[in-house]
Amino acid sequence: MIAGDMSALSIPTVDLDDLRGDDEARARAAAAIREGFGAFGLVYVRNHGIDPALLDRYYDVFTQLTSRAEADKRRLARPDLWYQRGWTPPNTEQAVAAGGQPDFKECYFASPTAIDAELQAQYPEIYAENVWPTDIAGFEETYLALGAALHRAGSALLTGAAVALSLEADRFTRLIEGGPHITRALRYIPLNEAQVGGGILWGEEHTDFNLLTLLPGGRFIDPSGARCPPPDPESGLYLRTRATAADPAGRKVRGAAPAGCIVAQVGQQLEIVTGGTFLATPHVITAPKAPGYSRLSCAHFVHAHPHATLFPFTEFRNPETVRAYSPPVLAGTYDLKTLVDIALAPKTALDLLGYRHYDRLNHQRTVG
């Protein structure tokens, strides 16, 4: 276990320029990653290469889409692709901890990275071609530019994360090469008077199932449509730190990065391959106590290659981690199972994981 100053909740900031700097700079970045990912499950990232004007344009074009009639948006909804492309309607995704209650949010999914034809044949839903609205100027270009910039920041951070754990520098970047990376735009939907305080979930507490998540910063929108601060101190994104003897529930930290920084958080896949040395970060998006406020957000999900085995690397294997993370599972299988768990894929998708050709023998028995 890596020590961190839990009392002050001083989430470390990693400067990506340090990763390209001299020995001292690289050692400083590695120490920040070890503490941040180890004790808190997240770091703040500076010099990340995300242009704030690009993020503004991204939210502008996304708002043009979300303000459309539901029937228009439904045309971009792809349940056949397990919603991994295009528009996800409100009340669709469910966190595992939510006991069946869905999140009150609408989302958009697109991949900013190249799609390999062979992997698309093997995993048609998670490697589908992107779906775009054709009549919102700049939607596709803006979306792809932001997603690509976030992916570059994630790759750089993963190089630093490998160095921080004394692994070869490309250990994680090799793991993610060709993965089903995906960028998501989210809009948490305003509550009406009757819904406020009624237990509506914007985003129930969960950990992300991918390897690393980049969050460039969300924003609240007031009832007039203008950007505004959080309408009350509890609303918005909160992250939960690792449990300790002193804090068995962990600590809740507001997911607001210092000015000019973005947030990077550990997903389940990074936890598994590091045997829990880096811990997946639980997070929750709490609905406001006032009606009419919405929240826009963006997340880029960096994934392991679908053929990668999710199991602690040999460096992190011991009886305890083997017990905690067995059996080894292919990342593509893990993705499918989790998409069923969170209600984006149908339960019948699990049938794809076993043999599906028993009918051939049945046919032979009846015709013989």
Give the footprint of Fe ion on this chain (CB under 5 A). Answer: 208
Q: Which C-beta is closer to Fe ion: that of 104 or that of 316?
A: 104
Nearest residue to Fe ion, by Cβ distance, number only: 208
Q: Which C-beta is closer to Fe ion: that of 133 or that of 255?
A: 255
Q: Which C-beta is closer to Fe ion: that of 35 or that of 208?
A: 208
What is the C-alpha radius of gyration for the chain, rounded to an integer number of angstroms?
21
Closest Cα partner for 220 from 288, 126, 275, 154?
288
Taking the C-alpha atoms of residue 83 and residue 58, their distance in angstroms, rounded to an integer, is 20
Provide the minimum distance between the beta carbon of 64 and Fe ion in the complex, in angstroms, as a whole number.
24
Provide the minimum distance between the beta carbon of 215 and Fe ion in the complex, in angstroms, as a whole number.
9
Taking the C-alpha atoms of residue 65 and residue 140, their distance in angstroms, rounded to an integer, is 12
Taking the C-alpha atoms of residue 199 and residue 100, their distance in angstroms, rounded to an integer, is 13
Q: Which C-beta is closer to Fe ion: that of 206 or that of 242?
A: 206
Taking the C-alpha atoms of residue 294 and residue 314, their distance in angstroms, rounded to an integer, is 45
Supply the DSSP symbol for 213: E
Provide the minimum distance between the beta carbon of 332 and Fe ion in the complex, in angstroms, as a whole number.
20
Bridge partners, residue 206, by sequence: 283
Provide the minimum distance between the beta carbon of 267 and Fe ion in the complex, in angstroms, as a whole number.
8
Closest Cα partner for 91 from 205, 224, 189, 231?
189
Q: Which C-beta is closer to Fe ion: that of 238 or that of 325?
A: 238
Q: Which C-beta is closer to Fe ion: that of 44 or that of 139?
A: 44
Q: Which C-beta is closer to Fe ion: that of 106 or that of 208?
A: 208
Q: Classify residue 290 by burial, with Cβ atoms within 10 Å: 0-12, 13-18, 19+.
A: middle
**CA 83 centroid distance within chain:** 15
Supply the DSSP symbol for 239: E
Q: Which segments within 155-282 are labelled E, that is strand?
A: 182-188, 203-206, 212-215, 219-221, 227-228, 236-240, 252-254, 262-266
Provide the minimum distance between the beta carbon of 213 and Fe ion in the complex, in angstroms, as a whole number.
6
In this structure, the chain runs to a length of: 368
Provide the minimum distance between the beta carbon of 199 and Fe ion in the complex, in angstroms, as a whole number.
20
Provide the minimum distance between the beta carbon of 208 and Fe ion in the complex, in angstroms, as a whole number.
4
